[in-house]
Structure 1
């Protein structure tokens, strides 16, 4: 059965029952589900299809060949993980998921792909005729990559993490541009295969992208301002003992943001007449007072 599994091969239809045809290739018999066949096959005819071993350990052929094959790379979706084995990937077969070995995954299990993540893989057949998923390396990504355009500066992109390094995360966008995320441009390290919503902060001369997972400044202001406003709403009498002169460490401990972010959030809410600031405190503006000019005394 050498060099049969994980490939498109041709064989002779030798038998059938109510549910299956049986196709023989070099003395090895594969079953073929009749539900796939629109017109009946004749005994002795030649059938070409993708060969594999299904979850029941039966040899099977299918006319619906997946993109992922031996020496052919394609994206598959992670369906589950098994700590002692690796991750199971759906490549489009009806009754077979392919395992990417834990030996090929990050040392830290929290960086393993999770259900729904995508991996670019090919297949390999081991000495026991078992099919395994093989992760694409950097050369494969380079081979299929498209150069980024200069007009992509500041654009939003969706990308998949394919290489995790101490120096940063390498990704490929949905349009096949290659990108890099420096550790300073993320809050946490992405998982292998994780789909990321990023923004372009640089287009390099070699056609690759520098990306950030951090929000734009105005987006961060909106989020921080919303958080500050909610804190005031939940305070006992609509005020907090903070101002733009408060200690940075006290601000960080209470709100979890830097003093710079805090001051921008205050400015945003003052401009929108949501709050006032006086006597070293922040106050909610009552609904009746929102048409008045807010106080901005320090």
Structure 2
């Protein structure tokens, strides 16, 4: 049908207990009655989105899908077939859209997984088949925000990856800032469409956030720094009567760790600007 993937008007030709049938150019379209607030009468004119469902029936959807030709929106991955592609919920009843193998990374290990999200639009081929098409970088630039002079360094950010390159991954944050993760700032390459959390380590000249998925220095050393930080946060004064010059035995008795481990923990917390030392005490900043 040459009207596949478009919004059209049709005339109701039949109604039964489960479905409403309509006609357009001599072809019959089916709509479940549950898709209407009130079922239309015979001869009424209805409008909706034309598509083919999983049973290869021509259908008319009164509620327009969020993904249409030249309309971009996030779709959720519903299934992954290594031999066919990735199936996406684009907002149609009884129909998932497919991203073809040609539009997916060659490395199938970084393909999306079920539940991941992808920004897509709809395309219809010469045979009338509907496909999902990934949004390109121009779309993400068009919908993105700029930090506008705000200092975001060391802030935590979450976002969804939309392009994977050998040098790194591109993502758009939940607040619609564009970000870049250099391959040296991650331990594992994110999947396409994966939602990740990292921290801002810089800003490019064109307003893109440089993001690291690696832990902060104090997070890398694990429990010792976290324990010291927790003790500081619990204390009403936000301070402890210990510094890197404190007695080793007193440190061992209070924290249960060696002075060397304590000094390393303090060093990382100082570097991360989470604490300060003065007058023989350590204070939470």
Contact 2:122-2:130 within 8 A present in 1 as well = yes
Distance, in Å, in 1 between the alignment partners of 2:174 and 2:45 is 39
The reply on whether 1:35 has 2:17 as its aligned counterpart is no
- 1:7 Cα offset (Å): 2.6
Distance, in Å, in 2 between the alignment partners of 1:108 and 1:272 is 51
Distance, in Å, in 2 between the alignment partners of 1:186 and 1:124 is 34
The reply on whether 1:97 has 2:96 as its aligned counterpart is yes
Distance, in Å, in 2 between the alignment partners of 1:37 and 1:86 is 32
Greater CA drift, 107-116 or 15-24 = 15-24
1:204 maps to 204
The size of the alignment, in residue pairs, is: 236
- 1:205 Cα offset (Å): 4.1
2:50 maps to 51
Change (3 A) 1:129 1:180: same
Q: Which runs of 4+ in 1 moved over 4 A?
A: 223-226, 269-272
1:169 maps to 169
**Cα RMSD over matched residues?**
2.2
Give the unaligned 5+ runs of structure 2. Answer: 227-250, 261-285
- 1:128 Cα offset (Å): 2.3
Distance, in Å, in 2 between the alignment partners of 1:200 and 1:14 is 59
Distance, in Å, in 1 between the alignment partners of 2:141 and 2:253 is 48
User: How do residues 104-183 of structure 1 correspond to structure 2 at under 5 angstroms?
Assistant: 104-149=103-148, 150-183=150-183
- 1:222 Cα offset (Å): 2.5
- 1:83 Cα offset (Å): 1.2
The reply on whether 1:275 has 2:257 as its aligned counterpart is yes
Cα deviation, 1:226-248, whole Å, max 9, x if unaligned, reads 8xxxxxxxxxxxxxxxxxxxxxx
- 1:223 Cα offset (Å): 5.0
Contact 1:148-1:203 within 8 A present in 2 as well = no
The reply on whether 1:20 has 2:2 as its aligned counterpart is no
The reply on whether 1:81 has 2:80 as its aligned counterpart is yes
TM-score, with structure 2 as normaliser: 0.77
- 1:5 Cα offset (Å): 2.1
1:60 maps to 59
Change (3 A) 1:270 1:86: farther
Greater CA drift, 112-121 or 37-46 = 37-46
- 1:195 Cα offset (Å): 0.7
Change (3 A) 1:39 1:155: same
- 1:20 Cα offset (Å): 1.1
Contact 1:147-1:206 within 8 A present in 2 as well = no
